[in-house]
Copies of this chain bind each other. A is one copy, B any other.
Amino acid sequence: MIDAGERVAPTGEGVSLGGLETTVGFLLRLAQVAVFKDLLAALKPFDLRVTDLSVLLVIEATPGLHQRAIGDVLRIQRPNLVTIIDQLEARRLVRRGPVADDRRAYALRLTSEGEALLREAKVAHAEHGRKVLDALGDLEPERMLAALERIAAL
């Protein structure tokens, strides 16, 4: 009988994860943290966080949309979006314009500065994206995306 009790390595080297290592959830988290870390580093030169890039992309895709709509698609609470837009607006990347028939809401658009920065950020984003796709190896991206979508709909 092996007395593993008092002869354990102080660091985690060789210590078992107790089954967690073959769990989708655990590896999903490690992968997500790694991807966000890599993207954050890629966006560093533009002083953008992952969320900032997402917001800019959504505004670019649908100019004039309300803050509410961004929160809906990106799953950001409305109160938290206020600060994000405040910062982007302070940097003159985004403009809060008037909405013709609703004076409560803002029509969000990229400024030309915002468009210019996003153009560059998208290059870095694409490069990051290629790294992630490379990591998929023999797994087809479409199958990965489909699986992740189904998991997200749990």
- Whether B62 and A148, one on each chain, are in contact in the complex, defined by CB atoms closer than 8 angstroms, is no
Report how many copies the assembly holds. Answer: 2
Contact pick for A145, options B24, B54, B107, B148, CB 8 Å: B24
| Complex interface bits, A20-49 against B, C-beta within 8 A gives 1, otherwise 0 | 101111111111111111110000000000
CB distance from A46 to the nearest CB of B (A): 16
A-B contact pairs, 23 of them (CB 8 A): A4-B62, A5-B64, A6-B64, A9-B65, A10-B102, A10-B105, A12-B72, A17-B61, A18-B62, A24-B144, A25-B39, A25-B132, A27-B148, A27-B152, A28-B31, A28-B148, A31-B148, A31-B149, A34-B154, A135-B150, A135-B153, A137-B146, A144-B147
